[in-house]
Amino acid sequence: MMQRVCRSSRVFWRLNSTSATSQTAPNPKLNTVFNKFPPLESIDASSLVISKPEGLKSWYFLERSRGDKLPVYRDYKKSDNNIHTVISGVKGDAQRLRNDLMEYLGIEKSRIVVKPSSNKVVIKFDCANEVRALLGQHF
């Protein structure tokens, strides 16, 4: 059944159902789609969170972008005319990542800084290609 409703200067049509009940018939295709996923009661909350591997005191993880790139960037500083290498998006222990980079790349401790507020590692010279090559083997 259609009713004409006029409010101010606009006219629109309101469609009303003519069936006795407003329930629709169940769609069997929907049941097959949603049965592919396990019920929420069977999922353990600890399996949804990244946890540290057993046997390690500390850990870190770098997530790749949609384009399969590591979060390693060059930061051009105008004040001291230097290029810094920035590793962002570190999940876990950024201090451990700093120590591993110092060990594998031979970087002095004074030239690598961890920013705990943003979990970034800043290297005070341009070594982005070397860092990408090293981290690309593991992440």
Residue 111 DSSP class: G
pLDDT of 63 above 60: yes
Residues 118, 74 share a domain: yes
Q: Is residue 50 part of a domain?
A: no
Residues 120, 75 share a domain: yes
Q: Which two tokens stand for residue 58?
A: 């500390």
User: Torsions phi, psi of 60, nearest 5?
Assistant: -150, 160
pLDDT of 137 above 90: no
Q: Is residue 52 part of a domain?
A: no
Q: Which residues neighbour 101 within 8 Å (Cβ) at sequence distance 6 or greater?
A: 107, 112, 121, 123, 131, 134
Residues 67, 36 share a domain: no
Residues 91, 40 share a domain: no
What pLDDT is stored for residue 56 in this prediction?
65
Residues 64, 7 share a domain: no
What pLDDT is stored for residue 83 in this prediction?
92
> Across-strand partners of 19?
none
Q: Is residue 75 part of a domain?
A: yes
What pLDDT is stored for residue 139 in this prediction?
72
Q: What is the CATH number of the domain that holds 81?
A: 3.30.780.10
What pLDDT is stored for residue 125 in this prediction?
92
pTM of the model: 0.59
Mind listing the pLDDT tens digit for each residue in 15-51? 666 666 656 666 666 555 555 667 778 888 777 776 6
Residues 94, 34 share a domain: no
Cα–Cα nearest to 69, from 127, 118, 121, 135: 135
